[in-house]
Structure 1
Amino acid sequence: MKIAITVNTSWNIYNFRSGLIRAIIAQGHQVIAIAPEDEFSQRLVDMGCTFRSIKMDNTGSNPITDLKLYLQLKKIYKREKPDIIYQYTVKPNIYGSLAARSLDIPVINNVSGLGTVFLNKGMAPFIAKKLYKWAFQQVALVFFQNNDDKRDFLNQIKLPKLNTQLIPGSGINLSTFQSQKELSNRPVRFLMIARLILDKGVMEYLEAARILKQSHPMVEFQLLGQLDEGHARGVKLDTLSSYIEEKSICYLGTNDQVRDIIEDATCVVLPSYREGTPKTLLEAAAMGRPIITTDVPGCREVVVDGENGLLCQVRSSQDLREKMHQIIKKDLFSLKVMGEKGRKLVEDKFDEKIIIEKYLSETSKIID
């Protein structure tokens, strides 16, 4: 069997779908990875994938550019003749589905969080929803990562015959993500991992860190993630620099060794406005680190409030600051208990093996 996987970056495929790819290849199937070329493309080839490069504007809405993406995908799908295609992220989901439909190739799409299309209003979200409705009419299956996303998607995009199922994100490799270090609160070290756009709650984190740093100068606040000034809601470098210069936060840039950075953290924070199932929180919980996140779809699925972490109000730096202060005040034993409960939650609900089995099982039903 030949399975194509189409995503908006090679980085995304490698970091979120490596376990699935290895499982497919181990069963003797062929995987075609389709994405814009980046430094992770060769890693996909080294894993055993056939790699096909495409050009994609991930944030723009130029109809000519999007038409070119559709034509690229149709050309690749026609040439490669996959038995089924797994698609992730907005543009592959939409334009890949249209291309696959024209060639009568079955598709499994994954809606991993509704994002700005459903958070904001205006012409661009309106058009995007119309495109979703057009593209999803004949897909074989759509995976959603939480009930809220599924409900809101189907309330806003009327597709009564759409075959949908829930799946707990991309899952976690529990062998890879297990801490080799004891959790420490000397010093207390907060860590936020996210692309630096406003919808991730970056400004709320920066503001909370600025105020807490004044009363708790020994506490550390780290930020790991890529600047994306080209994004309509990207945090600007000048804005970030002001917090760095006053030593409110330590900006770590980007780093492949996320596991090592999580291991050195006391608590991982993600004050996002909405997610699918945030992998950074799963990784943190799997490594026994308490987490703080917002009480919004996707994020709240990873936290039992007061057990393995704390939930805060969305878009509120004040409430985030209060929850971070609670972590600062906790003794080390209490923090370790929170971490242990987080590990257990991930083992029970988010093991990567659960997700892999679901994909392979549904694929067999569709192909047969």
Structure 2
Amino acid sequence: MIQNCLSQPGDSQCAFAPEGARAVGKRRAILFCANTAWSMVRFRRGMLTALIRDGYEVHVVAPEDGEAASLRAMGCVFHPMTMAAQGRNPIEDLKLVARLLALYRRVKPALIFHYTIKPNIYGSIAARLAGVPSIAVTTGLGYVFINKGLVSSLSKLLYRISLRFSGQVWFLNQEDRSAFVSAGLVESGKCTVLPGEGIDLEFFAPVPRPECAESADSAKEAKEEKGEGDGPFCFLLIARMLWDKGIGEYVAAARALKARYRNLRFVLAGPSGGDNPSAIPQSQVDAWVKEGVVEYLGMLADIRPMIGAADCVVLPSYREGIPRALLEAAAMERPVVATAVPGCMDVVDNGQTGLLCRERDPRDLAAKMEEMILRDRDDVREMGAAGRAKMRRHFDEKFVIEHYRNVIHELV
């Protein structure tokens, strides 16, 4: 599924240079604008650190949140700026353009990167007005393409206008690029496909698997509520609390499996959905927890211990860019169950590194999760090892870092 810069050696924008930083003649400012400081730390820490080490002055613009201090500690110049991720007030959007324009003129960066819909649209406009070259990074199609209606149509119109002002537009998978190009939102010549955000294979290192709930034989005996096994088989879903992430289907599958097996855990980890139109009310999450069908851990500062404690990571999303949760799980040698949709299919080799299920189908999801429970333990371990091997071949963050370095070296 992946068609990224590694497969386009003739394209100067996509060629990866040998490892190692280039010398920077003088300290130049590179600015990154996102809708959360958390996402910059979680997804792009390695890239930011590498650029700081290269000698660039790295600025980050985002709303203040719990990870802003981490950015400052890394050496980034952090500029807190309020922006409603899904706000629809045109006056507030114009104010955001004005605030970004004033900041860009004051900082005078050599290059700006914008992430997610609001920065992509309004940041690209502000960058053009400030006379600063910019790159829009589309991390996923999200609500705009998954759902239909006035908001979706208006967002596409704004994309069509604003992406004219970006020098390049980067995508995380080929399907997203094709969707934007076919909808007339961006010229194909501006587009580049990256191998996701990359994954730090040293940070997300394999850990010994926990004592699994049951062997295949004892799991079969546990069916119809027979026996307890050695410990609970743990499924983990890592995502924002959005319906579009397939969380409703995950809960329905958990109910079905709990009716047949006694020794299972179903865990949710991730922040609330905020003001996203697809956000699941906290009261609904609380009701599921009270029912006993799932556990909810909220947003974890370090997800690695929970991945290490899980037997299988699940993501029944309706569409993704390149899902970070699946990269992290595979890097730590955990098999996955995900939907057969763009993004997820780029990460999961069905039957080899995990299992793919039909989108919005809780019965098929439950069937694939049950198959994971009943699989031979050696087979599951081989799945996990194959997943990490794929991360090493295609998704190592050093590839993404070198792409940033190449483009910045070319443009700055």
Shorter-chain TM-score bucket reads over 0.9
1:92-127 per-position Cα deviation (integer Å, ceiling 9, x unaligned): 011110000012211111111111111112111111
The farther-off stretch of 239-248 and 311-320 is 239-248
**1:183 and 1:289 in contact (8 A); partners too:** no
State the 1:263 CA deviation.
Answer: 0.5
The farther-off stretch of 161-170 and 145-154 is 161-170
1:180-233 per-position Cα deviation (integer Å, ceiling 9, x unaligned): 323542231100011111100000000000110111110111111222364322
Q: Which runs of 5+ in 2 are unaligned?
A: 1-27, 214-231
2:222 counterpart residue number: none
Return the alpha-carbon distance in structure 2 between the equivalents of residues 83 and 240 of structure 1: 44
2:278 counterpart residue number: 233
State the 1:162 CA deviation.
Answer: 4.6
The farther-off stretch of 270-279 and 112-121 is 112-121
Shift in CA distance, 161/321, structure 1 to aligned 2, threshold 3 Å: closer
2:256 counterpart residue number: 211
1:59-80 per-position Cα deviation (integer Å, ceiling 9, x unaligned): 1111011111111110110000
1:11 counterpart residue number: 38
2:84 counterpart residue number: 57
1:39-88 per-position Cα deviation (integer Å, ceiling 9, x unaligned): 11111111001111111011111101111111111011000000000110
**How many residues are matched?**
367
Pairing of 1:16-95 with structure 2 (within 5 A): 16-95=43-122
State the 1:161 CA deviation.
Answer: 6.0
TM-score, normalising length from structure 1?
0.97
2:9 counterpart residue number: none
State the 1:345 CA deviation.
Answer: 0.4
TM-score, normalising length from structure 2?
0.87
1:280 counterpart residue number: 325
What RMSD in Å do the two structures reach over aligned CA positions?
1.2
- Higher RCO, 1 vs 2 (CA within 8 Å, ≥6 residues apart): 2
Equivalent position SS for 2:313? strand
Equivalent position SS for 2:297? strand
Structure 1 residue ranges, 4+ long, deviating more than 4 angstroms after superposition: none
Return the alpha-carbon distance in structure 1 between the equivalents of residues 344 and 105 of structure 2: 38
Match of 1:124 among 151, 154, 163: 151
**1:117 and 1:129 in contact (8 A); partners too:** yes
Return the alpha-carbon distance in structure 1 between the equivalents of residues 38 and 82 of structure 2: 14
The farther-off stretch of 174-183 and 2-11 is 174-183
**1:145 and 1:277 in contact (8 A); partners too:** yes
Shift in CA distance, 188/41, structure 1 to aligned 2, threshold 3 Å: same
Equivalent position SS for 1:260? helix
Tell me, yes or no, if structure 1 residue 257 matches structure 2 residue 284. Answer: no
2:169 counterpart residue number: 142
Equivalent position SS for 2:205? coil
**1:129 and 1:157 in contact (8 A); partners too:** no
**2:267 and 2:294 in contact (8 A); partners too:** yes
Q: Which runs of 5+ in 1 are unaligned?
A: none
**2:156 and 2:185 in contact (8 A); partners too:** no
Equivalent position SS for 2:97? helix
Equivalent position SS for 1:253? coil
Equivalent position SS for 1:129? helix
Tell me, yes or no, if structure 1 residue 309 matches structure 2 residue 354. Answer: yes
Equivalent position SS for 2:93? helix
Letter in 2 for 1:20: M
Equivalent position SS for 2:320? coil
**1:288 and 1:340 in contact (8 A); partners too:** yes
